[in-house]
Each structure stands twice: as C-alpha cells, then as structure tokens.
Amino acid sequence: MQEKFLAFIREKELLQPGQPVLLAVSGGLDSVAMAHLFQQCPYPFALAHANFGLRAEESEGDAHFVEALARQLGVAFHTTRLPAASEAEVKGVSIQMAARDLRYQWFGELCRQEGYLALATAHHLSDQAEGLLLNLSRGTGLAGLHGIAPKRPLLSTENSPLLIRPLLFTRRDELEAWATAQGIRWREDSSNASPKYRRNLIRQQVIPPLKSLNPQLEEGLQELASQVRAAEGVLKGVVDALHRQVVAEKAGHTTLSLPPLLAQPEPQYLLGELLQPWGFGWAEAGAILHSLQRSAGSPVGKEFSSATHRLVVDREQLVITPLGAAALPPTPLALEQPELQLGPWHFRTRRLPAKGYRLLADPLLAALDLGRLQFPLLLRPVQPGDRFQPLGMRGKKKLSDFMIDQKIPLNLKDELLVLQSGTDIVWVVGHRIDERYKVSGHTAEIFEIRGTHT
C-alpha cells in the first residue's frame, strides 16, 4: 500500500519532495489511513479537522481523536468549529452542502496563512464510484461523469494551493484491510450507516449487485471518469473557439449570434455550454432551438429566464440581460455639469462652438443645438406614451414604434434612457437624437453629451 501510495503521487505529480501539505482528517478510516501513509513520505504535513457539532458528543470525540492522532504522528494540528446547520438554513441548501462549502473555505484560508502548498483529502475509488452512480441516478451531463480529479486548484484565485486526492488508486475495502493489518485505529461515523442519505443507499444497495456483475466496478468507473475528463477538455476547446465567434459583450447586455452556432453539429449541446455562465443549460438550449424550428428560424420576443438572467430570442441572435435591475431614477443634468454617473451609465458633456465642429456617426454621442435646450435637462427611463421626432423624419413617432422599427430586443426596451429638455425628448440614448434639436447652419453653440455603459 505504501509503495502504491508514493507511486500514485509521483505518477500524477501531486507533490514534490519537501512541499508542505495539509491533510483534511475527519477521524474516519479513510483520512486516518491517509495520515499514516503520509508519515512515511518525504512530504511535511499537518492535520486539519473541521468540527460541525452535528452529532453532539460524537463530534467532540472525533475532534479529540484527531488531535491525539496529530500528537502521535508528531505534526501540527488545526481545528475550528463551523456552523453548518445555521449556514444551511440561511442559504437554503442542505447541511451537507453548507458543511462542504464552509470546510473548503476554511481549508483555503488555512493553506494561505500557514503556507501549505496543497490540501489532501482522502477520496478513493469507492467514493468515485458512489459519486458517479449518484449523479447518474439524478440525471447528469458530462460534468457529472468526470468524477473526482486527482488534483485541481483549491481556490479560484491566482497561485491557489492544490487540492489533491492521493488515495484515488485504491478501494475502501483495500484501505481497511491495510489499516487493520497495521493496527491502526479510527472512528466510525454513525451517519454512514443511515439510509436517509442517498450516498449510503448507493453504497449499501446499488454497488453490491453491480459488483457481482463486475468485481472491478470501481476501477472501471475510474477509467470512465478519466475518459470523460479528457473528452471535456477537447470539447472545451471547441466551445471556447465558438464563444469567441458568436458571443459579444455590449452596453449592459450580451448577444449570441445564432447562424454560426446552427451550422455546427449538435447545436443543443454547444448552446447549453455557451449559456452556462448566465444560468441556462441543456434543457433551455433545447427549448430555444425548438422555438426557432416552430417559427421558421427567426422568432421574435420568445423569452427564457434563469435565476439570474433574462434571455430573449431576437431574430438571428439571443439577447441576455441581468434580472432584477432596478429602474434608474430621473436625474437632472445641468449645463455646466461635465460628468454624471447614472447606474451603469457614465455621461460626459461639453459645450462647443458650432464653427468647425465635425459631426460623428456615433449612437452613444449626441450633438445638440444648445440654443434650443432648456436646462436642467433630464435623463430618465422610457415611459408609456413617449413620443419624439427621430432625426430625418418630419413628424413625431411613438417611442414604442421607434423601438420596434429599430428592432430593439424586448429585454433591452426596459433599460432605455432618454434625454429630455422641457417636455421634449431630445435623445434616445444610444440610438437617435430628435430632428428639432439637431445641429444646423443656424446653430451657434453645441451641447455634446457622450454616454458610456460600464
């Protein structure tokens, strides 16, 4: 076992000799066996134990046991109490999920503070098999089949410590046989026998009959997970290349061009992967593509929502905006006010002589006849019944009709701002100024305003 342990660490390049590592130790068989295996390795280590207090005296006993183990092994010991139950209630998640998040957050802080280059957890092949089968029972995509990787960054920060799993070469029964032969003592967690936990049901009732069909079940599932991770790497390259081609970040929203996507094989998979950052996935991608088929490829206004974003199908593109953005308040703008911040918008203004001024075709810049404006101006959201005279037109037009003509997606209409002078709309920000306020041969001074969406 010891030789296989060292060989696995070297093969997967989990650690280099002399690199300090923090071991996550609960007191159970797996983590205690891992601690004893590390004792005979050229890697300095310490033990860390998170006490959630979920099993009263049993939890306290686990903490005391791990502390005694650290003294026995002659290494440093770190421990803390973490409020998993109250955290789960606040966040509306399971206690197991809350405990996991709190534990890894603490481990990460500990690694940074004490200089450990890696955190080792005691996941083994049996854990790998249970996790994959549990994901399959729930229904999963590729992400649920890539299993536990031997190593990955512990944190999503630069120069993060590694999270390593040095026992992913052995099964639980092999580890128990070795620990028993070595005379190693460990604690039994009573919750591991409870049928109320799905993982326990997988371990006790699903895996045994499967192993009667294939005694090498764990090894086979480990091989599957490795192949899925490799396939994910290949697919990520394809998705990243397509992302650069079809996704564009614009002022306050994101667009996704559909024609290049639809030309690809398996567009539902690709669309689901592209939409993940905004909380959409495989199912929503299928519904979007179905809406395209039903409307002959160019639907307008079909909406989808995730927990964080709103998506509108707008002809040959998808338009994605954040949910829950508060309406911006009407805000006055004085003549001698060079800058104004209004929500995500930043405006800069200048007054300039008309002589020699060169008009630019920039929808985010409005050049207006200063002599016709009434100050203070007002920047405000669109209101029902708004009208203005779009540049180049003779008569007034409903702003709602103008937005339709301009093919402004439904989820962007609510975010439009207008600049008002007196009772007149003089600029639909980012789109068109009013004909009556344009710069002409009679203009003496120009009021210039430029908007930038941050």
In this structure, is residue 229 part of a structural domain?
Answer: no
CATH of the domain at 303: 3.30.465
pTM score of the predicted model: 0.70
In this structure, is residue 133 part of a structural domain?
Answer: yes
Q: Do 166 and 290 fall into the same domain? A: no
Q: 27 among the known binding-site residues?
A: yes
Q: Do 300 and 372 fall into the same domain? A: no
**Residue span of the structural domain in which 94 resides:** 1-213
Into how many domains does the chain fold?
A: 3
Residue-level pLDDT, tens digit, the chain, 454 residues: 999 999 999 999 999 999 999 999 999 999 999 999 999 999 999 999 998 877 778 888 999 999 999 999 999 999 998 888 888 888 888 888 888 889 999 999 999 999 999 999 999 999 999 999 999 988 888 888 989 999 999 988 888 999 999 999 999 999 999 999 999 999 987 777 777 778 888 988 999 999 999 999 999 999 999 999 999 999 999 999 999 999 998 777 899 999 999 999 999 999 999 999 999 999 999 999 998 887 665 566 788 999 899 898 988 899 898 887 667 899 999 999 999 999 888 999 999 999 999 999 898 999 999 999 999 999 999 998 999 999 999 999 999 899 888 887 776 777 789 999 999 999 999 999 999 999 999 999 999 999 998 7
Domain boundary among 271, 299, 322: 322
Q: Do 291 and 347 fall into the same domain? A: no
Q: Do 350 and 291 fall into the same domain? A: no
Q: 108 among the known binding-site residues?
A: no
Q: 342 among the known binding-site residues?
A: no
Q: Do 165 and 280 fall into the same domain? A: no
Q: 441 among the known binding-site residues?
A: no
CATH of the domain at 435: 3.50.40.10
Q: Do 398 and 351 fall into the same domain? A: yes
Domain boundary among 291, 322, 353: 322
Q: 400 among the known binding-site residues?
A: no
Residues making up the chain, counted from first to last = 454
Q: Do 273 and 398 fall into the same domain? A: no
Closest CA to 279 of 320, 250, 246: 320
In this structure, is residue 145 part of a structural domain?
Answer: yes
In this structure, is residue 260 part of a structural domain?
Answer: yes
In this structure, is residue 102 part of a structural domain?
Answer: yes
Q: Do 179 and 73 fall into the same domain? A: yes
Q: Do 12 and 62 fall into the same domain? A: yes
Q: 29 among the known binding-site residues?
A: yes
